[in-house]
Each structure stands twice: as C-alpha cells, then as structure tokens.
Structure 1
Amino acid sequence: MRPTQMMSGGGGGAPIGKYNHYLGGWGNFGGMKQRGIISYGISPNRQNPFAGAAHDAVFNTFRRFSSQFLYWAPATVAGYYIMNWAVERNEYLNSKAGRAEFGGQAEE
C-alpha cells in the first residue's frame, strides 16, 4: 500500500524512501509497518557492564604509563637532583662553615 500525499506530509515534502514506505514526521515514527529493518536488543538485567573492567584497567594503565614514561621521568629526575643540590647548598651557606667561607661577600 502506497501512502497518500496527506499521509506523507501533505505537500509532498517528505521523502517516501527506498521501499516506498513513509516513516512519519520527525519524532513521530508511527507510520506504516516497515520491512527489512532488523533491530536487536538485550534486557538491562542481562547485561554485564563491568565485564573485564579490572583486567582492562590494569593493562590499559600499564600501556598508557609505559608510552608516557620517557616524557616525564627525565624531567622529574633532573628536578629532584637540582632541588636536592639547592637545599644542600642553602644549608651549607647558612651554616657556620658557610658563613665563615663566604662571610660578607655576595656569591657569584
């Protein structure tokens, strides 16, 4: 059965489609029964949304960590050693021996 002009929007503006079946207006899919359209579904209580989540989390985390390690590790190590040197140098300059060595002069 072919839809009439009135069923397909009145002015002929709505496309009939490949198989001459009208779906209805946008958001109002209540037209004729469709053929050749297959849809599958599963009940929410039959789904397992966390299936393999712990396994995937471990291996995905390792993959992401190993791909970024060489970007931040050298900077972190260098920053640690520079900060350690600065703290030790500051402690020495503020100690009795440091004040005696560099007494009244500004350090270069």
Structure 2
Amino acid sequence: MRPTQYLLGGGGAPVGTHGKYLGEWGNFGGMKQKGIISYGIAPNRQYPLAGAAHDAFFNTWRRFSAQVLYWAPPMIAGYYIVNWAIDKNHYLNSKQGRAEFGGQEE
C-alpha cells in the first residue's frame, strides 16, 4: 500500500525526488525527520571581528565629533591661561621684571 501525500510531506505541494520533510512555510506538520543531522554556526560566531576595524574608526569619529565642542574650548582656554601665567611668572622673576615691579607686591 502506498502512503498518502500527507504522510510523505504534507503541505499540498507535490513530492519531488528527494521528498518533502517539513512542509510549506508556516505549515510544519509533516512527517518526523529521522537520521537527518545538520550543524550550523551563528553568523556572529563565524567572523567575530568582521568589520571591527572599520566600525571602530567610524564609530570613534562619530563620538569624537559629537563631543569635541564640550571639551576642546575649555582645554584651549586653560592652555592659554597657563601659558600666560608661566610667561608672567618668568617675567616677574627676571631682571627686567624685578626692576619694574621690585618695590611693590602683587
């Protein structure tokens, strides 16, 4: 006795030469699979560093450009203030500075 179409694969489509095991999409009611073993690996495990250098460069640039206006102006202002204070200190402790401001205290 020949098995029915539903027992061979279900889903209503004709059974080909290799059989139909799962049925059509969304209709996984076919016969149970036996002896079919398939192994797979997740896409994120195949190449764990795929595109990492590219993404790191562009992500770093995006984050840098978004934050640079928050820290660059105070850093530049601080650099010029410290540079002015060092130059002023050198002048006040030089011969010309002592001659100009030697009698008064700042």
TM-score where L is the length of structure 1? 0.57
Task: Choose 1 or 2 for highest CA Rg.
Answer: 2
Name the structure 2 match of 1:65: 64
Gaps of 5+ in 2: 1-38
Runs (4+) off by over 4 Å? none
Q: 2:48 maps to what in 1?
A: 49
Matched, 1:85 2:84: yes
Give the Cα–Cα distance (whole angstroms) in 2 for the partners of residues 43 and 52 of structure 1: 16
Q: Name the % identity.
A: 75
Offset of residue 41 of structure 1: 5.0
Aligned to 2:8: none
Number of aligned residue pairs: 67
Per-residue Cα deviation, 1:11-55 (whole angstroms, up to 9, x for no partner)? xxxxxxxxxxxxxxxxxxxxxxxxxxxxx95179x6110000000
Superposed CA RMSD = 2.1
Aligned to 2:97: 98
| Matches of 2:104 and 2:61, distance apart in 1 | 53
SS in structure 1 at match of 2:47: coil
2-structure distance, mates of 1:75, 1:43? 47
Higher RCO structure, 1 or 2 (CA under 8 Å, sep 6+): 2
Cα distance in 2 for residues equivalent to 1:43 and 1:62: 30
As a proportion of its length, which structure holds more helix?
A: 2
Q: Which runs of 5+ in 1 are unaligned?
A: 1-39
Q: Deviations over 1:41-89 (max 9, x none)?
A: 5179x61100000000000000000000000010011001001100000
